[in-house]
Structure 1
Amino acid sequence: MNGSGASLGQGPSDPAITLKGYYVLQKRLEGVHLFPEGVDSLIWTPQKTGIFSIKSACLELAKASPHLMPDPIKGIWKGLIPPRIEMFAWLALLGKINTKDKLARMGIIREDENLCVLCESSPENYNHLLLHCPFSWKVWNSWLSIWNLKWTFPPTIREAFDQWKFINKGCFFKKVWAAIFFILIWTIWKERNARIFNNISCSPSQIFELALLRLRWWISGWTERFPYSFNDILHNPSCLMWVDSSSALTTPKPPKQIIHWEPPPEDHQKWNVDASVFNSPHRAAIGGVLRNSKGNFTCMFSSPIPPIEINYAEVLAIHRAIQISLRSQPTPNHPILIESDSHNAVKWSNDDNGGPWNLNFQLNFIRRAIKGGKVRIIHRGRGSNIVADLLAKQGHTRSDEFIAWI
């Protein structure tokens, strides 16, 4: 390597040089524009939404170098609670949260100031605060008493997490049981901070009600359509077992989730398209279904494609649906709506420029069709796309494309 840079395999001994080189590279990259005629934007391609998440980054790193990504604590990164609380739980189980005992050992506070703010009788280390403090134990016991459980917790919060199991085969309640562990330690931590920084305190019963409220908030982000409100949970917590038909505590199971598909306007036809990518073995496929304003199926396709990133595959699904409509006699005179659950693919298709450079041919084809006035592409959630999703998954087993007009 010319100049002052290090040769391959020999990094600079001074970390400041490495940091300086990073900022120089970053500054140079700020002036690079892949599409001079448009505005560049950052997207996270492993997610259909294009939004970065810690979970997806961990999964990508694990796929790239599985031997370098051992997870010392299994069962945290499930997406049942917000990412910041997953991160807090991870740090808590590793003993890395800034309790008073830790701050005293670091010399930030005096050693005589390390008493637990909840009980004011023992040093505030993470195992005491989150598990063994009499105040915290009352909060834990409020949950355990609902299920008539008597639990002897081990010395550490990590061991308690490893033992946090309940004999119940209901998939929904397993999620509830896993999530409540994190919610309880987060709620206890928030109470500790409220007392220290805001001089505000709550009773153990109030803290437990707040934990149940948080549980209900975050259940609403799961795929299940849980039919009960916070007040229902508060007055009858056994409703949390509504999916477990073998339990005496079970409440009647609500009707299955209704998939809402909206018909297109009169004389229009609507494609729902989707893509499916398998990482092991690495395969990709696309699929789509065409329906008229009465909801009748008129065409469907299922096709294997070369291995490709999921959002790129969604673009190919949109492109193929337009191709079929424009080249086939039954549909050319009908305006076409195309629904995709990929925000990125829809955005790239509707923008005048931009998108992945290696999909320029397909994107330009799509944009010409849109400008012709016969095609409109919109983003819709997966709930209305179930048939297209199934057709895309079937494409993995096909050797060539399947198209059928009905």
Structure 2
Amino acid sequence: MPLLRVRLAQPRPPRVRVFAWLLVQNRLPSRANLLRKTILAEDESNCPLCGEVVETCSHLVFGCPFARSLWESIGASPPPSLLASDAALVSLPEGVPVATSSFFRLLCLWHLWKHRNGVVFRHLAPSLALVRKCCHDDALLWRYRLPLDHREDVLSWAALLGAHGG
């Protein structure tokens, strides 16, 4: 699971590491998992962002039109059928340094999840601009968790997230 294997210091906050592990294990409390555990009824299991299909972990981060719009806005285009466990396979634009690309991917995945929770629990309207802003702001915070020789990489992330707003 390359998403979790990182040779740099731990720039990810502990809760983001737990999120990543749950994501690649398909253990997030997605609506499909809640349906399987009979916590939700079938009529409550569609994606809260698009309403099109049952919300699985993979749909949430790659298949949902909302998630696809985030990836496309940063110049990445993972196939909608990509499994969440294969998140490390998402190719990113040249502007994202290879050394820190796994952190950038994780930052985007984390904020897709957080935004989904905001839609579900705080009744926010889905907003690509808000997700991009939150990714941008957290990128600048995560910068100080990176080793000194990789801190400048985050400026390229921030430029990518700040460009063409969404």
> With structure 2 as the length reference, what TM-score do the two structures score?
0.80
Per-residue deviation at 1:152? 3.4
Please list, as runs of the form range in 1=range in 2, the aligned pairs for 1:356-375 lying within 5 A after superposition.
none
Query: Which structure has the larger Rg over C-alpha atoms?
Result: 1
Please list, as runs of the form range in 1=range in 2, the aligned pairs for 1:109-128 lying within 5 A after superposition.
109-128=40-59
1:176 to 1:216, Cα distance in 2 relative to 1, 3 A:
farther
On the 8 A contact 1:191/1:201 being kept in 2, the answer is no
* Residue type at the aligned position of 1:158: S
CA distance in 2, matches of 1:187, 1:166: 17
Q: Which has the higher helix share?
A: 2
Residue matched to 1:212: 136
Matched, 1:93 2:27: no
* Residue type at the aligned position of 1:119: C
* RMSD of aligned residue pairs (Cα, Å): 2.9
* Residue type at the aligned position of 1:188: L
CA distance in 2, matches of 1:167, 1:138: 15
Task: Find the residue that maps to 2:145 and give its secondary structure.
Answer: coil
Task: Find the residue that maps to 1:220 and give its secondary structure.
Answer: helix
1:228 to 1:106, Cα distance in 2 relative to 1, 3 A:
closer
Per-residue deviation at 1:203? 1.2
Per-residue deviation at 1:164? 3.4
On the 8 A contact 1:101/1:125 being kept in 2, the answer is yes
Matched, 1:137 2:64: no
* Residue type at the aligned position of 2:54: P
Deviations 1:217-240 (A, max 9, x none): 10111122646997x865x439xx
On the 8 A contact 1:116/1:123 being kept in 2, the answer is yes
Per-residue deviation at 1:166? 5.6
1:154 to 1:209, Cα distance in 2 relative to 1, 3 A:
same
CA distance in 2, matches of 1:167, 1:228: 13
Deviations 1:243-264 (A, max 9, x none): xxxxxxxxxxxxxxxxxxxxxx
Please list, as runs of the form range in 1=range in 2, the aligned pairs for 1:1-400 lying within 5 A after superposition.
73-78=1-6, 79-144=10-75, 150-152=77-79, 154-161=81-88, 163-165=89-91, 173-224=97-148, 226=151, 234=158, 236-237=159-160
Per-residue deviation at 1:75? 4.4
Residue matched to 1:46: none
On the 8 A contact 1:105/1:111 being kept in 2, the answer is no
Structure 1 unaligned blocks of 5 or more: 1-72, 239-406
Structure 2 unaligned blocks of 5 or more: 162-166
CA distance in 1, matches of 2:33, 2:115: 18
CA distance in 2, matches of 1:89, 1:98: 13
On the 8 A contact 1:139/1:205 being kept in 2, the answer is no
CA distance in 1, matches of 2:118, 2:104: 21
Q: Which has the higher strand share?
A: 1
* Residue type at the aligned position of 1:74: P
1:176 to 1:212, Cα distance in 2 relative to 1, 3 A:
farther
On the 8 A contact 1:153/1:160 being kept in 2, the answer is no
